[in-house]
Amino acid sequence: MIRRDMPDEYFSLLASVKRPGRYTGGEWGSVSRRDSENANAASVARICLAFPDVYEVGMSYLGYQILYSLVKTLDYAEAERAYCPWPDMEEGLRRAGLPLASLESGRPLRDFDAVGFTLQCELCATNVLTMLDLGGIPLLSAERSDADPLVIGGGPGACAPAPLEIFFDAFCVGDGEETLPAVLSVLNELKERPRDEKLDALSRLEGVYVPGAGHPARTAIVAGLDNGFINRDMIVPNISIIHDRAVVQVFRGCTRGCRFCQAGMTGRPRRERSAASVVSQIESLLAYTGWDEAGLLSLATCDWSALGDAMESLSDVLAKNHIKLSLPSLRMDSFSVEIASRLEGMRRGGITFAPEAGSERLRRVINKGLSDDDVNAALDAAFRYGWDRVKLYFMMGLPTETTADLDGVADIAGRAVHYARSNKKCGEISVSVAGFVPKPHTPFQWEPQASRGTLRERGRYIKRRVKGGRITLAYHEPDQTFLEGVFARGGAALGRAVLEAWRRGARFDGWTEYFDINRWEEVFRDLDIDAEEISTGERAIDQPLPWDMIDTGVTKEFLATERARAYAGAPTADCGEGTCNACGWNRFTCCADARRERA
């Protein structure tokens, strides 16, 4: 659908760009309060929710959809959307002298009270600048006036904001349902006040970090998911997107304690939705959107204690309306496979597991909690329950990794072929290996990242070891992994590099067709930034870290203890199953306590 009010000059660009549906707006579920329709529209705080990647990626991100629906319920705020235009559309906008505008009303980004970016990936940094520049907003926070909108960052990237501080006025850390309404309330109350006064007020909010304010920020959380905001509508995209279905998040946080996993550490404490709440939400979303597929989302959906009850309640509704149900996140055990076998939606594209490491020894190091017997049982069950294709995800470059661990990747792939044949299946096995990036706020945040040469060598070694006509192998480009590591682990000096690389043409660095490592290497060299040291340098436990201004609730002491246990090969039990591991959240609310309450 194309918006009837789309200006002719924008409409004329659509014939010359790829996938014009990215830019038309007018989707089912997207609404805007027009000034002519709402007498109080001028008094609300207007925010443009900006996603620094293409429409198909941004529309697939559940958090973005939740915040959009949430703001629509606030009588003091209004939300519209913008996505990063593909380079052909960027060129067209610049050639025509047109600003980047929202999809709902065609309002240029510069005319909002705030522009809120979802920072989902380190390699989207230059896309932020593209959107600001096209939107008519000065790139540097220090150069903005009272007439310019505040630029606010949220999402995973806000947990390590230093490399982007010079471009942002504030960052929201933690659950957006807690921080965004509070931010918009302040902006509405201080709508006509100077930006310094607004920023001072924002800096006092829990979960908001304002660079230069002089104090850290602590993660804001929604304590009870059933009692918080529940979205019962979603925007239905005009074109096919990555995850084209209704999605409900069944719990947040994770207590399994994988030592490489940033989301598992920063998303604590674990909080569940009830089966009744999830079932009600799915029914509402399906009725509103017309989708024929629904997904249950979390870091490990089979850990959801109400999964069985929810599936029993949903079975009749799904069957009657021919709705497919999928579980995007599966543990690698036979129970998870048995649960997934009931869901027809999962069988269409195969089943995916993430052993992460090739050997049981290395999985103990990263606290994956997955034995060789578990791997065997899951592979056997997958083919026994009817799948023909299995995808396996691994990392290389993990701490303490040896050649034997790399051999284990090939061994697991071979075992998958064996179990396929044992169950009389063709057995197409897809193996994907990504370079490990030590992420902030994890037990491995002090670790050096493996060099590009090392990652390339290990990837080639695995490729030589993986044999069999039914096995395909792909490993992530080490140069992109390197750049991701630089920005995950770097400090404020990297802001200059982002700006300079963007000026030299850097766009969509997460997309292979546009990524150019030579451009970044030239920028680092010209600005005298030792990117190799940022990426591969080891850091002392007592050394200040660039992300220390963000308190996620998990203490450094706990992370350091977990790092020591990793090198000792010692597992740490899931605190959601019993005893509190004193990660730091016991200061406020505890995952183990929540587990006992559910019991």
pLDDT at 224: 87
Per-10-residue mean pLDDT, the chain, length 599: 66 89 89 48 86 95 93 95 97 95 94 97 96 98 98 96 98 96 97 96 97 93 89 90 88 92 92 93 91 87 87 81 77 74 58 92 96 93 87 96 97 94 88 96 97 96 86 92 97 98 97 96 98 95 96 95 97 84 71 48
pLDDT at 122: 94
DSSP letter (8 states) at residue 78:
E
277 contacts: CB under 8 Å, gap ≥ 6: 225, 226, 230
Query: What is the reported pTM?
Result: 0.93
Tokens encoding 405: 């661990």
- 377 to 29, 106, 382, 385: CA distances (angstroms): 43, 54, 9, 12
Residue 195: alpha-carbon gap to chain centroid: 30
DSSP letter (8 states) at residue 61:
-
pLDDT at 148: 98
Instruction: Tell me which residue of 268, 272, 234, 273 sits closest to 254, measured CA to CA.
Output: 268
Please state the CATH superfamily assignment of the domain spanning residues 8-218 in this structure: Cobalamin-binding domain (3.40.50.280)
Beta bridge pairs of residue 550:
217
d(CA 267, CA 549): 17
481 φ, ψ (degrees, to nearest 5): -60, -40
d(CA 108, CA 87): 18
Domain ranges for the chain: 8-218, 550-598
d(CA 366, CA 369): 8
- 131 to 139, 183, 279, 507: CA distances (angstroms): 9, 22, 38, 11
- Torsion angle, alpha carbons of 225, 229, 232, 235, to 10: -110
